[in-house]
Chains A and B, each alone.
Chain A
Amino acid sequence: MEKVKKTKKRKNKLYYKNNAALYVMMLPGVIALLANNYLPMGGILLAFKDYNYTKGFWGSKWVGMENFKYLFNSDQAMIITRNTLLYNLVFITVSVTIALGLAIALGEIRNQKIAKIYQSIFFLPYFLSWVVVSYLVFSLLSVDMGMINNVLKSFGMAPINWYTEPKFWPWILVTVNTWKWTGYDSIIYLAAIIGIDKTYYEAAAVDGATRWQQIKHITIPSIMPVITILTLLKVGRIFYGDFGLFWNIPKNMGILYNVTNVIDTYVYRALTQSGDIGMAAASGLYQAVVGLVLILTANKIVKMIDPEQALM
C-alpha cells in the first residue's frame, strides 16, 4: 500500500514538473477571467446591500431582499421586462423569416458570382458600430435636416419630430435592428444551404418536382437543425437587450423611455444617473438568473432535438 501511494505521488510530481509550462501559459487568461468574470460574480452580493460609496463594499448595510422588493413594486420592472421580451421576440421572428428567405433567395440565384456581391453588401451593416449607425439613422430622421422630413416637405406634408414621438419607435428600432443583423443571420443560413447534398435535388427533379417543391421539401427540412439551434440560442438570450441599439439609436430621449427602455439600459441608468447601486445590481442579478434558466432550458430542448448540437 505504502509503495503504491509513493509511486502515485512520484508520478504526480513528475507530471507537474513536465507540464508546469502549460499552467504558466494559462496564467494571463486566468487573470483576465478573474477580472472580467469571477470577481464580478462575487459582486452579486451588492444586490442585497444598501451600497454606500463612503462605507464601501464590506461596510455597507445588508438589506436582504429590499432592493428586489423595491424594483418589482415599481412599474419599471414590468415595462423593461415587457420591452426586452417583446423586442427580442420580434427580432427572432424577423431572423427566421426575412433572413432565412434572403438566404434561400441568394442560394437560388443562377449567377452565384453576383450572389456573392449581394451577400457582401448585406453583410456590411454588421461591421458598423452602433455609434456610427446612430449617425446614419440621424441623417434620415433629423427634424430639420433629415432626409425623410425633406421628402415629406417636398410632398407638402408636415415634417415629423421623430425623436419625440414614442409611437414610431417600435417600428424604427425593429427596422434598424433588421438592417444591421439580417445580412449576418442570412450568411449563417446560407452556409448551411450550400452544404446540402446536390444529389437530393437531382433525385427530386427526376421525379418531376418543381424548384419550389424542392425548396419546400429539401432545402428547408435539411437546414431545420440550423434554424432550430440558432433560434433557441436567441431564445436563451431573450432576457438581454442589445444595449448599443437601445442606448444609441433613441439618443436617451426621456420621452421615449416607455418604448425604448430595456433591462440593460435601465441598469446602466440606475448605475450612472440615479446612482442607486443596490437597485442596479438587483436588476442585473434578476436578468442574469432568468437568463441562466432560459439558456439551460433552451439547451435542454436543443439536446432533445439533436444532441450533437447542444451546448453541453
Chain B
Amino acid sequence: MSQNISRIEGLTKSQERYIKRNESLADATKISKRADIVIHIIMILLAFACIFPLLLVLAVSLTDEKVISSMGYRLIPSKLSLDAYSYVLKDASDILRAYGVTLFITVVGSLSSLLVIALYAYPLSRRDFKHRRLFTFLVFFTMLFNGGLVPWYMVYVNVLHIKNTIFAMILPGLFTPLYVLVMRTFFSQAVHPGLIEAAKIDGASEFRIFWQIVLPLSKPALATIGLFNVLFYWNDWYSPLLFITDEKLFNLQYLMYRVDRSITYLVSQSNSLGNVSQLLSNIPSQTARMAMAIIAIGPIIFAYQYFQKYFIAGLTIGGIKG
C-alpha cells in the first residue's frame, strides 16, 4: 500500500505521512484478522441455524412420500419427487382457492389500507389544520389502551355483522396506528407547506393537491408502509381464526392452520377413533403439507430480497411523537 502512495506523483512529504497515518488509523479502528475469521465462523453457523428449518421443510416437500413414512424427515432426500407440488397446484382445489383468497385480500387490503392511512395522515401533517392535535391523539391513544379481544370480537360479530365475510379479514389491518403516525411525520418533512400554498393559489382542490403533489413526493413512505401491509395481510391467520368458519373464505395461512390442527387432533384421538390412517387419507399428505408451506413462504422470500431496504427504513424511522 505504501508503495502505491509514493508512486502517486505530486504528493509532498507531509501529505504522504498524513495518508500513511490515516491508513494505520483505519486499521486500528478495525478488529484483527483473526477475530474477523472467528466472527465469520460464528455468523455462518448462526445463518445456517436460521435457514435450517426452511431447508428441512423444502427437502421434505421434494421427497418421495413413501421414503418419508419409512425414514422420517431428512435434510437430503434419498428419493426426489415433485408429486407434492403437482398435487398442490393441480388437484387440490381448496388449496388453490385459499391461495386466491390470500392474493385478493393482500392486494385489496394493502392498497385500501395505504389509501385510508395516507388520507388520515395528510391533514395531521398540515400546520394550518385546526384539529390536528385531537385527531393525532385519537390514533395515539389506541396504542396505549384497548378494549381487549372480547369486546373487539363482539363488535365485529354483533354490531358490524361481518363474521364470515371478506371484510373481517380486511378491516383488522386497515388502520394501523403506528403507520399513521409514521406517515404523518413523513408528510410533514417531505412536503413543504409553501408547495401546498402555491397549489392552492393556483386553484387546486385539496384532493388534487393530495393526489398530485403529496403522494408523488412520498413514494418512499408509501412503499415502506405498503410493504408492511402486504406482509400483514399475506401472513394473517388470526382474523380468519376468529371470524371465518366458511371454508370458501379460508386463506392460505388459515387453511394450513386447519390442516395442522385436524392432524394433531386425529393423532391425539387415535385410540378412540379407530382407523386413523383412513381418516388421515382425506388430508393432504406429509409432503403436500410441506409443499403448501413452501408455497406460502415463496413469494415473501422472493419479495423481501428486493424490498429489504424499505423494511429497514421503516423499522428505523424515528420521530413518531405527537
Contact = CB atoms under 8 A, between A and B. Distances in A.
Interface of A: 15, 19, 21-23, 25-26, 28-30, 32-33, 35-44, 46, 56-57, 102, 105-106, 108-110, 114, 118, 120-125, 127-132, 134-140, 142, 144-147, 149-150, 163, 179, 183-184, 187-188, 191, 198, 201-202, 204-206, 211, 214, 243-244, 248, 251-253, 264, 267-268, 271, 277, 280-281, 283-285, 287-288, 291-292, 295-296, 310-312
Which of A33, A36, A102, A110 lies at the interface centre, i.e. has the most chain B CB atoms within 10 A of its CB? A36
Contacts of B304: 123-124, 127
B244 interface: no
Interface residues of B, number: 102
B30 A147 contact: no
A40 B311 CA distance: 31
A36 B175 contact: yes
Given A33-B138, A204-B29, 19 more contacts: A25-B120, A26-B119, A37-B146, A39-B151, A40-B148, A41-B151, A105-B42, A121-B51, A124-B54, A125-B50, A135-B289, A135-B290, A142-B73, A144-B72, A179-B49, A251-B261, A252-B264, A288-B146, A311-B321
A286 B221 CA distance: 36
Contacts of B166: none
Contact of B72 (A120, A149, A288, A312): A149
B190 interface: no
B151 A284 contact: yes
B53 A118 contact: no
B301 interface: yes
Nearest to A135: B293
A120 to B, nearest CB: 6
Nearest to A28: B116
A280 B53 CA distance: 36
A-side binding surface: helix, strand, loop or mixed? helix
24 contacts: A19-B129, A22-B122, A25-B123, A28-B115, A40-B148, A43-B147, A43-B155, A56-B158, A108-B31, A118-B47, A121-B51, A122-B47, A124-B304, A129-B296, A132-B253, A138-B260, A145-B286, A147-B56, A149-B72, A264-B149, A268-B149, A284-B149, A295-B144, A311-B321
Nearest to B160: A35
Given A284-B149, A312-B140, A21 B206 contact: yes
A22 B123 contact: yes
A287 B175 CA distance: 23
A33 B142 CA distance: 9
A32 B147 contact: no
Interface stretch (B10-18, B32-40, B80-88): B32-40
